[in-house]
Amino acid sequence: MARLPTPGSDANVWGNILNDFLRVEHNSDGTLRADGTLRNFYNLPSDGIPRGDLTAAVQATLGKADTAIQTLNGHSGTAVILTKNDLGLGNLDNTADSAKPISNATQAALDTKVDTSELVALAVAL
């Protein structure tokens, strides 16, 4: 019969005893066995645990999480929508690097480089 380990008297066999004990109530994947006694204590609803099934302390913590942000940067409501200006990111954009202008100094440095397409054309001509 499965039992819990006895401290001080089950040296080197705790793992086996615990596994035997767990197999009585659990399937190999960790779910509760349909024929186990624990199944009678709580049936998890398919849509999750209702708040009423939670302890008062857990419910209070969840209540704080639901109302933690009531206003933010002048916005309020259940769906606060912020813009990049609200966050001080007014100059931020999603322009691709290839579409951004380069400085005169960068362009001057690039102008001194050899165009590799010219090298290919030269190699083909030789």
Q: What local confidence, expressed as pLDDT, does residue 46 receive?
A: 79
In a domain, 96, yes or no: no
Count of the separate structural domains present in the chain: 1
Where does the pLDDT of residue 108 fall: very low under 50, low under 70, confident under 90, or very high at 90 and above? very high
Q: What local confidence, expressed as pLDDT, does residue 104 receive?
A: 93
In a domain, 97, yes or no: no
pLDDT tens sequence across 78-104: 666 777 887 788 777 778 888 888 899
pLDDT tens sequence across 38-77: 777 777 777 888 888 888 888 887 776 555 566 666 766 6
In a domain, 72, yes or no: yes
Q: What local confidence, expressed as pLDDT, does residue 48 receive?
A: 81
Q: What pTM does this model have?
A: 0.27
In a domain, 123, yes or no: no
In a domain, 108, yes or no: no
In a domain, 103, yes or no: no
Domain range spanning residue 68?
1-90
In a domain, 40, yes or no: yes
pLDDT tens sequence across 6-31: 777 767 777 787 778 788 888 888 88
In a domain, 23, yes or no: yes
Q: What is d(CA 50, CA 59) in angstroms, rounded to the nearest whole number?
A: 10
